[in-house]
Amino acid sequence: MEALITPLSSPSLSISQTPNLSSFSPLTIHPIFSPKPYKKRNCSTQISKFGNFLDLIPENKSTPIKFDLNWVNPSHKHRYDVIVIGAGPAGLCLAGRVAQQEIRVCVVDPDPLSMWPNNYGSWVDELSSLNLDSCFDKIWPMACVHIDDHKTKYLDRPYGRIDRKILKKKLLGGCVSNGVRFHKAKVWKIDHQEFESLIVCDDGNEFKASLVVDASGFASSFMEYDKPRNYGYQIAHGILAEVEEHPFDLDKMLLMDWRDSHMGNEPSLRVGNSRFPTFLYAMPFDSNLVFLEETSLVSRPVLSYKEVKSRMVARLRHMGIKVNRVIENEKCLIPMGGPLPVIPQPIMGIGGTAGLVHPSTGYTVAKTLTLAPVLAETIIECLGSTRMIRGQPLYHRAWNGLWPLEQRLTREFYRFGMETLLKLDLDGTRNFFDAFFDLDPKYWHGFLSSRLSLMELAMLSLSLFGHSSSSSRLDIVTKCPVPLVKMMGNLVVESI
């Protein structure tokens, strides 16, 4: 259940204006782009006779995007102001913004034109506020949450799926128009000196820059930490599938389905799910095309991928969903929470490498692309000025511009939310979300979108306790003291 985005207000990255979409008022929203229809065909040779979609071979074959990039000229001296490692949404957005001010930028990635592998979803108001409405290929006017077999929450907040190709082309276009150079390689080593850094690539090329920004994602080994990285983990298995039929309303996306009736004949699965629950996330495109994803919201240690897939098989079988074709499949593993990297340090981060993943939900895209221009402005102020601020003053300004004290404190609160969820079983999780989605929309909207101040988060906690059932309050009283004490201690340390 990921959402990865930023204001692209410059002329080179401008998007045609559409009416402002507010999530706080009733709306009638239609898809801006409709996914190409998948014609139903005779798939008798592909359909599993056991109704198990795991027997089907995914058809997705990732093809590179066709785009004319400004490639690095090997005969030129490889010296830049900024090097960005990674051509994901965060890296491309930052590179395009920094280069607007005639700062020399190079993006290094093993395959800059490859398609991003995972599906991204987002609340419509998040992208609308960033002028990225046209990046949706499908919008659902409402979302829903099945708490159990007897209770469903309907959320009056439009949700959409991001068209990865459209988004990437927009970001690449901003980079190309502003003169960003690209180099196809993997970074092996970074050597930091007093006023510049040297990167060494696997093809033997070396590049120097005043600042290196790591936007390569969770697997990066370049970032320094001074605390144990005690992550929680979100893991999911998803498929874009052609099915014979499905039970989902076409005008609603299914944000969470916590029902476990599909495990009635699966006692071993039920026991595990009671302690470490998973839910179904579904995007119905038409009566036969649907994206389905079984998700463990957060666990520590990570729930096994085999277990997640087994639960999804049992769920779809119980719901009568027979998969004819698996058009795409994806495995999603997101480290959540944990400490921030050392602040400051010689390498800058953005996205997952900078701790921007929402510790309680796993969402990254909207926040990352919102903060990329903030980081870009700081870099421009330092490297674009006549004084040319470099070295430790540059690192200090960049890191503290991305993570000012207020944001570090609110992140501790979101981490507390994750630690609380880790202690809840299925019944506790149901009770939590039953109360959470009964809150004033400004609270649950703000929490899911990382928009709340520290005071607003405190008010949310009081309101949540007031809306909770007696059993949920007991969970809070008995299971939250340790995470609460840790959070308070971290708040004190951060404030010093």
- At 231-251, the pLDDT tens digits run 999 999 999 999 999 999 999
In whole angstroms, what is the distance from residue 409 CA to residue 490 CA? 8
pLDDT band at 488 (very low <50, low <70, confident <90, very high): confident
Question: Is residue 147 situated within a structural domain?
Answer: no
pLDDT of residue 327: 94
Asked whether the predicted pLDDT for residue 20 surpasses 70, the reply is no
- At 370-425, the pLDDT tens digits run 999 999 999 999 998 766 899 999 999 999 999 999 999 999 999 999 999 999 99
**Residue of higher predicted confidence among 211 and 487:** 211
Query: Backbone phi, then psi, for 289, in 5-degree steps?
Result: -115, 125
Cβ contacts of 445 within 8 Å, gap of 6 or more: 23, 24, 123, 125, 157, 451
In whole angstroms, what is the distance from residue 124 CA to residue 467 CA? 27
Q: Extract the tokens encoding 365.
A: 């895209």
- The winner for highest mean pLDDT among 23-32, 70-79, 316-325 is 316-325
Asked whether the predicted pLDDT for residue 9 surpasses 70, the reply is no
Average pLDDT (94-107) is 95
pLDDT of residue 2: 55
What CATH number is associated with residue 297?
Answer: 3.30.70.1120
Q: How far is CA 93 from CA 4, 51, 231, in A?
A: 11, 43, 27
Average pLDDT (20-39) is 34
pLDDT band at 106 (very low <50, low <70, confident <90, very high): very high
Count Cβ atoms within 10 A of the Cβ of residue 178 and give its class: 0-12 exposed, 13-18 middle, 19 or more buried.
buried
Whether residues 128 and 99 share a domain: the answer is yes
Q: Extract the tokens encoding 423.
A: 């202690």
Q: Extract the tokens encoding 356.
A: 């921007």
Whether residues 471 and 416 share a domain: the answer is yes
Question: Is residue 207 situated within a structural domain?
Answer: yes
pLDDT band at 12 (very low <50, low <70, confident <90, very high): very low
Whether residues 319 and 421 share a domain: the answer is no
For residues 72 and 112, is the Cβ–Cβ distance under 8 A? no
Whether residues 180 and 73 share a domain: the answer is yes
pLDDT of residue 25: 30
Whether residues 274 and 298 share a domain: the answer is yes
Last residue of a domain, one of 357, 383, 404: 404
In whole angstroms, what is the distance from residue 90 CA to residue 313 CA? 34
pLDDT of residue 471: 85
Last residue of a domain, one of 404, 432, 452: 404
Residues 48-70: b if buried by 16+ CB within 10 A, e if exposed: eeeeebeebeeeeeeeeeeeebe
> What is the percentage of the chain residues whose pLDDT exceeds 70?
89
- The distance between the two most distant Cα atoms of the chain, rounded to a whole number of Å, is 71
For residues 59 and 326, is the Cβ–Cβ distance under 8 A? yes
Question: Is residue 3 situated within a structural domain?
Answer: no
Question: Is residue 91 situated within a structural domain?
Answer: yes
For residues 108 and 198, is the Cβ–Cβ distance under 8 A? no
Question: Is residue 149 situated within a structural domain?
Answer: no
Give the pairing type, strands 159-162 and 120-123. Answer: antiparallel
- At 114-129, the pLDDT tens digits run 999 888 999 999 988 8
Q: How far is CA 464 from CA 143, 201, 461, in A?
A: 21, 50, 5
pLDDT band at 23 (very low <50, low <70, confident <90, very high): very low
Count Cβ atoms within 10 A of the Cβ of residue 282 and give its class: 0-12 exposed, 13-18 middle, 19 or more buried.
buried
Whether residues 295 and 347 share a domain: the answer is no
In whole angstroms, what is the distance from residue 383 CA to residue 315 CA? 54
For residues 208 and 51, is the Cβ–Cβ distance under 8 A? no
Asked whether the predicted pLDDT for residue 10 surpasses 60, the reply is no
User: What's the half-sphere exposure (Cβ side, CA atoms, 13 Å) at 336?
Assistant: 30
Interhelix angle 470-479/426-436, rounded to 10 degrees, is 110
Tell me what the pLDDT averaged over the chain comes to: 87
Whether residues 212 and 263 share a domain: the answer is no
**Domain region containing 318:** 53-60+229-337
Asked whether the predicted pLDDT for residue 24 surpasses 70, the reply is no
What CATH number is associated with residue 170?
Answer: 3.50.50.60
In whole angstroms, what is the distance from residue 86 CA to residue 353 CA? 11
pLDDT of residue 324: 95
Residues 201-232: b if buried by 16+ CB within 10 A, e if exposed: beeeeebbbbbbbbbbeeebebbeeeeeeebb
Residues 299-329: b if buried by 16+ CB within 10 A, e if exposed: beebbeeebbbbbbbbbbbbbebbbbbbbbb
pLDDT of residue 51: 55
In whole angstroms, what is the distance from residue 186 CA to residue 220 CA? 11
pLDDT of residue 55: 86
Q: Extract the tokens encoding 90.
A: 């965060």
Question: Is residue 75 situated within a structural domain?
Answer: yes
- The winner for highest mean pLDDT among 6-15, 52-61, 108-117 is 108-117
For the chain, state the CA radius of gyration. Answer: 23
pLDDT of residue 268: 87
Asked whether the predicted pLDDT for residue 321 surpasses 80, the reply is yes
pLDDT of residue 31: 35
pLDDT of residue 8: 33
In whole angstroms, what is the distance from residue 395 CA to residue 274 CA? 46
Whether residues 207 and 255 share a domain: the answer is no
Last residue of a domain, one of 302, 337, 372: 337
Asked whether the predicted pLDDT for residue 176 surpasses 80, the reply is yes
In whole angstroms, what is the distance from residue 430 CA to residue 148 CA? 7
Asked whether the predicted pLDDT for residue 201 surpasses 50, the reply is yes
SS3 356: coil
pLDDT of residue 1: 57
Asked whether the predicted pLDDT for residue 459 surpasses 50, the reply is yes
Asked whether the predicted pLDDT for residue 36 surpasses 80, the reply is no
Residue 419: enclosing H or E segment and its boundaries?
Answer: helix 405-422
Whether residues 327 and 213 share a domain: the answer is no
Q: Total structural domains in the chain?
A: 3
pLDDT band at 29 (very low <50, low <70, confident <90, very high): very low
Kindly report which listed range (58-62, 307-311, 445-449) carries the lowest average pLDDT score. 58-62
Q: Extract the tokens encoding 486.
A: 């840790």
Question: Is residue 141 situated within a structural domain?
Answer: no
Question: Is residue 145 situated within a structural domain?
Answer: no
Whether residues 112 and 255 share a domain: the answer is no
Asked whether the predicted pLDDT for residue 496 surpasses 90, the reply is no
Whether residues 196 and 119 share a domain: the answer is yes
Whether residues 356 and 394 share a domain: the answer is yes
pLDDT band at 257 (very low <50, low <70, confident <90, very high): very high
Cβ contacts of 393 within 8 Å, gap of 6 or more: 382
Asked whether the predicted pLDDT for residue 487 surpasses 80, the reply is no
What is the separation, in whole angstroms, between the first and last Cα of the chain? 35
